[in-house]
Chain A
Amino acid sequence: MIDHLETLLGHPVVDWKAGEPLPAGAIPRVAIDYDDYENKRSWTDAFEEFLEEVDTGPLAGLVVGAYDFASSQNSAFVVEAIVAARDQFASLRALFIGDIVSEENEISWILQSDLSPLLEAFPDLEYLGARGGDGLKVGSPRHANLKTLVIESGGLDGGVVRALGEADLPALEHLELYLGTDEYGGTVTIEDLAPILEGRVFPALKYLGLRDAEIVDEVAGALVTAPVLNRIETLDLSLGTLGDEGAQALLDSPLVRGLKKLDLHYHFCTDAMQEKLKQLPLEVDVSDAQSGDEWDGEVHRYVAVNE
């Protein structure tokens, strides 16, 4: 289960409330709650009040929380509002769009939009994160300073990954994608991932997260000889349906041994396999082992974040 962001770029994230001062150094989350929704106070209203009340110049980051409880509007109006206010965010380095938890809206029901205007509007941005794969686009951005890109979804469209394969992000160190399941719109294939796995893009990459993936065993198989492993320090295949098959591939790969960290937490590997993984000469996280749900004589594995 995904919780609200607690920190971003080392700053605490706090809910901004009209009339209440922000703690020094905090990154505000601007969101509407159910009361606002009932009282017809829109996210746009909240953001306007926020801009008026808060000295946004020194803010290092901005988090956008729930913006629409009826799921009738996608995030395009949020993107537009932030782009229009860009001059008021002189220090902005981090943006997260859609810090929405399942108690507010299911991840696959969050309506996203094309976020690329944010990258164009903020050339100094270092961190861009988003939750919700429905309608989400980032295009093939060219951006000199972006270090971190996070896309959390219950199912990621292959088109998003294919477009990223043509991006020009020379500073990108951290790429984190939740691939999800086909049931919730996840269509990413190994082929879509090829430019990333072959290291044709993102020359500065240190962390690669292909998380929450139903195809994680396949991904692990494809990673065994992937040149990107020579570049990165951390491989994160957590939250998916990794079983012994995928784990064995990782175990057998000489390239994996060159990593500093392998994060596999939330997995479906056997105890014996976990023991073998722990013997690898690097930091390995195999916590939160899952046993799968058994019914109708079959064992069903679920990714950690879906729906």
Chain B
Amino acid sequence: MARFVVLANPDCRRLRLFECALQKLGLSPPVVVPYAALLRGEVRLAQVLRADDTVRIESPGRDFEVERLLLARGASEAQRENRFRCIESEAALQLEEERGRLHPSRQWFLGLRSLFEELQSELDAAPPHRAMHDARHCLEMSDKIACHARLLAAGVPVAPALGAEIENFEALLSVLKERGWNRVFVKLSHGSSASGVVALQMSRGRVLATTTTEMVEQNGEIRLYNSRRVRRYQTWREVEVLIDALCRERVHVERWLPKASLGGRVCDVRLVIIDGQARQGKVRLSRGPLTNLHLGNERAPLEALKSRLTEEKWGEIVASCGAAMRAYPHSLMGGADLVFSPDFRRHAIIELNAWGDLLPDARCEGRDTYEDEIRAVAYFGSAGILARME
């Protein structure tokens, strides 16, 4: 019988929601392969996978033990690369969990890269099966510089970005001056949601950095923490220290184009794209430039946005979403964040997230993202699953 094999952190909400959707559709619970067990070498995907299985790769986030293991796994490559902040493998395994603390983000990514490369080669050698994701795609969508470059090359409307690594604040200033840009977003290339995002603006000797990242100095070292509070750094010295610290984690810099607002709040929209179709969505509203905060920001239904758009414009948005996912042809789904010019005539995809389908309350034709994904697999794949659902 066809099974779902899910690579996930067993306690995560995403897995719960996926299991609920399976149950709702009358399907068996999935076989769960915990990231931690995989990283510790206690289990290999090849041992679990059988012919006709469907593999789902969930987000490795929100589990500190997994973060430790990924950091440890990325240590040697990070040291070899020698360009971004990194810590020893032993030190990584002994990290204490601290709320909001930002750990070496490039090293984390390199750990994930090593794991996913191994995973993908196991999948490539495995018996015939279906996969909801391509591990290489998940990885690339966890690299904002690479993902932006791919979307740009595919002709998807994106925000203009520097497209290169920036060493420090001084280097950033000189590039921005060259381009004539005075408002940009500095984002961690391997960060999720608002983690390490700075809205930076400069004009006539003034500077302002709006961010939820907090700097804490300890023994002469700057530690970064994600917090719930939006901070404004307004001195050149503070902003330099902040941007320098973020650059040590690898940043993606894109132009801050004026965004449209709804009801007096700056808005963006997360659209979940499943099997090439824009499906569930959520409009996020903010009093400030940071729209993708988990907390404190208001939400609105997709209809609030659609009512401001012409049918033709909505069609263009749907087409852009489809084009973005066609750039990742072996991935069944992704979550795109889109922004609009103030007159709603232009749009850009500012982020594409392999794990952007966590929108528990959003429905499309009565179904949540997980049900849609399972149905899409069933439709295209196993007659066994389809037969059980009908």
Contact = CB atoms under 8 A, between A and B. Distances in A.
Interface of A: 1-4, 15, 33-34, 66, 69-72, 101-104, 106, 109, 293, 295, 307
B201 to A, nearest CB: 7
Given A70-B180, A71-B182, A307-B208, A102 B264 contact: no
Contacts of A71: 182, 203-204
B342 A102 contact: no
Interface of B: 180, 182, 201, 203-204, 206, 208, 229, 232, 257-259, 261, 263-266, 287-289, 341-343
Contacts of B265: 1
A103 B259 contact: yes
B180 A33 contact: no
B258 A33 contact: yes
Counting chain A CB atoms within 10 Å of each CB, the highest count among B201, B263, B342 belongs to B342
Q: DSSP class of A's interface residues: helix, strand, loop or mixed?
A: loop
Contacts of A3: 261, 263-264
Given A102-B266, A109-B206, 12 more contacts: A1-B266, A1-B288, A2-B264, A3-B264, A33-B343, A34-B257, A71-B204, A72-B204, A102-B289, A106-B208, A109-B203, A295-B229
A307 B232 contact: yes
A10 to B, nearest CB: 20
Q: DSSP class of B's interface residues: helix, strand, loop or mixed?
A: loop
Contacts of A293: 229
Contacts of A106: 201, 208
A104 B258 CA distance: 5
A192 to B, nearest CB: 26
11 contacts: A1-B264, A1-B288, A3-B263, A15-B343, A69-B182, A70-B182, A72-B204, A101-B261, A103-B259, A103-B289, A106-B208
A33 B203 contact: no
Contact of A103 (B182, B204, B206, B258): B258
A34 B260 CA distance: 13
Contact of B203 (A70, A101, A103): A70
Given A71-B203, A72-B204, A103-B261, A4 B342 contact: yes
A295 B265 CA distance: 25
Q: Please list the 5 inter-chain residue pairs (A to B) with the smallest Cβ-Cβ separation, ordered nearest first.
A: A71-B203, A103-B258, A3-B264, A104-B258, A1-B287
B258 A101 contact: yes
A295 B287 CA distance: 20
A33 to B, nearest CB: 7
Contacts of B229: 293, 295
A104 B204 CA distance: 16
Contacts of A4: 261, 342
Nearest to A3: B264
Contacts of B206: 109
A34 B258 CA distance: 8
Nearest to B343: A15
A285 to B, nearest CB: 16
Nearest to B230: A293
Contacts of A102: 266, 288-289
Nearest to A183: B234
